Amino acid sequence: MARVIVDADACPVRAEAERVATRNRVPLLLVCNGGIRPPANPLVEVVIVDEGPDVADKWIAENCETGDVVVTSDMPLAAACVAAGARVLRHNGEALTQANIGSQLAMRDLMSDLRAADPFRQGGGKGFTKADRARFLDALERELRSAIRAEKDTRT
């Protein structure tokens, strides 16, 4: 069954993911190290993992499967999920696929090297906007409906 799995620590679109998952009647897993209040929604499960670097990412990578839609902006996690057959979206609605994940990982590594080499090149980037939120809602709706259709096609 299709699920939405959210890398929920510091995720700006949890409420939007819940709204789309509820509308499509699919489970939503919010994976985090804690600190998220479980919603009353019966379709939403908060998965609390142990403290530590990348523990939530490892849980998601090990538990996602074909038909799932994973929401993350962590490129190594996205690459693992794409390799597992899951559909992956960034918080701004950008889809991460086999076709673009390699270049996204390369850009992440390049930017990390640039920040390490130049102490004045820290942080920054553009802020999360209403347009990003709207793109995410639209993209999640499309990906989830596509995953549900693909699941139905394999059953028939």
Q: Which of 41-45, 81-85, 109-113 has the lowest mean pLDDT?
A: 109-113
The pLDDT value given to residue 45? 96
Name which of 56, 61, 12, 65 is nearest 31 in CA terms. Answer: 56
Distance CA 125, CA 69 (A): 26
The pLDDT value given to residue 114? 60
Q: Are strands 87-89 and 95-96 parallel, antiparallel or unpaired?
A: antiparallel
Percent of the chain with pLDDT over 70: 83
The pLDDT value given to residue 153? 85
The pLDDT value given to residue 151? 86
Question: Which residues make beta-bridge pairs with 88?
Answer: 70, 96
Report the number of secondary-structure helices (H) and strands (E) in the chain.
Answer: 5, 6
What mean pLDDT is reported for the chain? 88
pLDDT of 95 strictly over 70: yes
Domains defined for the chain, CATH in brackets: 4-155 (3.40.50)
The pLDDT value given to residue 34? 86
Task: Tell me if the pTM is above 0.75.
Answer: yes
CB 80 within 8 A of CB 86: no
Distance CA 56, CA 77 (A): 10
Question: Which residues make beta-bridge pairs with 29?
Answer: 5, 45
> What is the rounded average pLDDT of the residues 144-152?
91
What one-character DSSP code corresponds to residue 52? S
Name which of 37, 95, 100 is nearest 69 in CA terms. Answer: 95
pLDDT of 2 strictly over 70: yes
73 Cα distance to chain centroid: 6
